[in-house]
Homo-oligomer: A and B are copies of this chain.
Amino acid sequence: MGLNRSTIKALVEELVDRGLVSEIIPDTAARAGRPSHVVVPRSDTVHVLAAELGVDTTTVAAVGLGGAVLARRQYMSTSPSPVDQTVDRLAAELADLQSEMGGRLVGVGVAVPGLVQGSDGWVELAPNLGWREVPFGKLLARRLGLDVPVKVGNDGHVGGLAEHLRGSGQGTDNLLYVSGDVGVGGGIILDGRIQLGACGYAGEIGHMMVNPNGRPCRCGGRGCFETEVGEESVLVACGRSPDAGRAGLREVFAAAALGEPAAVAGLHDVVIWLARGLASLVNVLDTELVILGGTLAGLLPAVGPGLAAELASLTTLTSRHPVPIVASGLGEDSAMVGAAELAFEPLIAHPLGAFEPSRLVPPPSAPTSASAAGVAV
């Protein structure tokens, strides 16, 4: 960072005073010589409330600095989902969680399956929720009535951000995160940055056309990536009801792993379309890694090698080495953890300025090992 030792010392001491970080001596200091102190974020002094607004399930959580999930709950939601009811229920769940956590809240972040413009949470369109032009962030902030920023992001974007920072994409600066549930979204990380595009709508990979003879898509197109590999298509391809949902999809993946013919044949078709779509994206974006998230990640145990081989055969031009396809490292929490990152952004940008010390409770005793704090900075 180009700072000298004494400047860094002074800055770290200020952050320690605020209770935001701890200096610890790693447990595993087996090497000779005096062990270096390590500065780690403290997840016990400040936290954010984060949520992933899903089509059928919504997750709410309290997340500490460094990405530690301190508390986590889920509730069933319905689709289409009236805006007022959704905001009321979400606000009530968040408030309830906060009353359990105590008074050290610094932000709220929500991941939404739709086109989100600006981090104040204007939702231009969320087809699977039945929303169009909804000032969701402002509605939620008003309903919550908490004196902290409320940030909103697209679920694919924040999922990709979380996987890049804390999941399967750590250390990889060019990656594609595919969020596959009822809808298929994406988070594009290039050169270490999440790419938003002109309006914040980049990553709508679900509406890349892959099959001109395919089914009509709700976007007005035909044969979109989403209509070929989305949840309903996978269920239908495998001879299940399109309404079987996440549970149905998990059953299909398990059946395919056991060799059930209908499931195996159906997933074979899905793999072809999935590989074609991913190959196009790898050729356009030159990402070195593809991370599958959402329910779609569940197909990897059954058909991962076939998918990787198919992808490799279609990207020989641009990839000297086959591009690995891996499951999300944060499981089904990618978007929720990413929403927490959004919520922490104002604090990270101004760790000493954004929040009055009086609004933080006096720090309890600092943790003494890295494991207590989670992830090192």
Contacts and interface: CB of A to CB of B under 8 A. Distances in A.
B316 A202 contact: no
A221 interface: yes
A219 interface: yes
A81 interface: no
A198 B220 contact: no
A186 B318 CA distance: 13
Interface string A195-212: 111111111110111111
Contacts of A186: 284
A111 to B, nearest CB: 18
A153 to B, nearest CB: 14
A191 B199 contact: no
A198 B195 CA distance: 14
A155 to B, nearest CB: 15
B212 A190 contact: no
A337 B213 CA distance: 41
A39 interface: no
Given A191-B195, A317-B220, A208 B288 contact: no
A318 B208 CA distance: 11
Nearest to A323: B198
A287 B197 contact: yes
Given A283-B207, A313-B220, A276 B202 contact: no
A330 interface: no
A320 interface: yes
Interface string A277-293: 00111011111100000
A273 to B, nearest CB: 9
B197 A285 contact: yes
A284 B210 contact: no
Name which of A284, A286, A317 has the most chain B CB atoms within 10 A of its CB: A284
A207 B276 CA distance: 11
B280 A208 contact: yes
A56 interface: no
Contact of A287 (B198, B212, B213, B280): B198
A215 to B, nearest CB: 14
Given A210-B212, A317-B219, A318-B207, A198 B279 contact: no
B205 A197 contact: no
Contact of A191 (B196, B207, B209): B196
Given A191-B195, A221-B279, A125 B286 contact: no
A21 interface: no
Contact of A204 (B188, B211, B286): B286
A193 interface: yes
Nearest to A275: B209
Contacts of A173: 198
A288 B198 contact: yes
Contacts of A280: 207-209, 280
4 smallest A-B Cβ distances: which pairs? A197-B286, A198-B288, A174-B198, A202-B286
29 contacts: A115-B318, A125-B317, A173-B198, A174-B197, A174-B198, A186-B284, A190-B202, A191-B193, A191-B195, A191-B196, A195-B285, A197-B285, A198-B288, A201-B319, A202-B284, A203-B286, A204-B318, A205-B283, A205-B284, A209-B210, A209-B314, A211-B212, A219-B316, A219-B317, A220-B313, A220-B317, A221-B279, A221-B314, A281-B284
